[in-house]
Amino acid sequence: MCNGTLFVFLLTLFLPKFLLAECPEHKIEMNDEERLFNALKCKFKDEYRPVKDYTTPVLVKLRFDIKYVHFDTTKDTLSVHSWVVYNWKDEFLSWNASDYSGIKEMQVKSYDIWSPRMMLMNPDVTYYHYDKIYTICILKYDGIVTCVPRIVYKATCQSQLTNWPYDEQTCTIYFGSWMNKEEHVNLTFYENDPIKLDEFENAPGIQECEEGTHAYAVTNGYLKPERTCDNPEPQMNKSQIYYDFSSCYCDFPTVRDTNTNKCVTLDNCTKNLNI
């Protein structure tokens, strides 16, 4: 009984000290970066488009930095591993750099602010694709946000093996937004280098061969090939894969068959870039 009474007494005695452990706001010394973050924190809106005029669309620029591609003929799937650059302007998250010792950019979490939702429209149903970005983004003083998440896209692609081993596979990946039309969120590509293949082409087992004015990449399959740029004839017992990349964005909510819910044409794409 005494021990129980002593316990209650000590808890009552020290509890107020724990509650008073936080420093009063007027005694907290903050650096300029923390002051800036606190000033912007109340403006974070993750569910509403970052425009002051509702009729203004959010222009989102995209770039795909391809790292790895794999085509599975047995499962009819195409896997694309890529860093995807998202760039847009948040009209609420800007500041005067001179008020914060010249700070012109800071890091923010993508899920704390508004970020575009882009879905793969012809996905492999066995693989779950997130439509929301989860990464750390760079926010500049003029409200420009840049996020570069690493994303794996797994799309369905019907194999055409009639001419094997000289077959060519053409796969189309459709992107769009389920919730936003083009007049609300306008997804488009960077004018320069919308698809970057630098690291993909320089990866182990990759060679670039020149055929006239067209450059194409040769990548190994599961077996080590004897094929080289000097000896381009394919070997029957080896596996080579050629990749030619193009990009196109469809305004999916308006370019679709309402019965099948699929894109019916690429003629209405806002961009169609052959790389």
**Domain of 62: which CATH number?**
2.70.170.10
**Whether residue 16 has a cis bond before it, omega within 30° of 0:** no
Burial level of 66, CB count in 10 A (0-12/13-18/19+)? buried
Instruction: Record the pTM.
Output: 0.67
In angstroms, the Cα distances linking 141 to 89, 96, 110, 145 are 10, 7, 16, 9
84 assigned to some structural domain: yes
10 assigned to some structural domain: no
What is the average pLDDT across 159-182?
79
238 assigned to some structural domain: no
Q: Which of 52-56, 118-122, 206-210 has the lowest mean pLDDT?
A: 206-210
Q: Which residues contact 187 (CB under 8 A, 6 or more apart)?
A: 60, 62, 116, 118, 175, 176, 177, 249, 270
188 assigned to some structural domain: yes
19 assigned to some structural domain: no
Number of domains in the chain: 1
243 assigned to some structural domain: no
Cβ atoms 115, 180 nearer than 8 A: no
212 assigned to some structural domain: no
Instruction: Tell me the β-bridge partners of 19.
Output: none
Mean of pLDDT over the chain: 72
Q: Which residues contact 79 (CB under 8 A, 6 or more apart)?
A: 68, 69, 70, 71, 72, 152, 153, 154
Domain range for residue 120? 31-197
pLDDT at 15 over 80: no
**Looking at per-residue confidence, does 55 or 261 come out higher?**
55
257 assigned to some structural domain: no
Return d(Cα 28, Cα 162) in angstroms, integer: 72
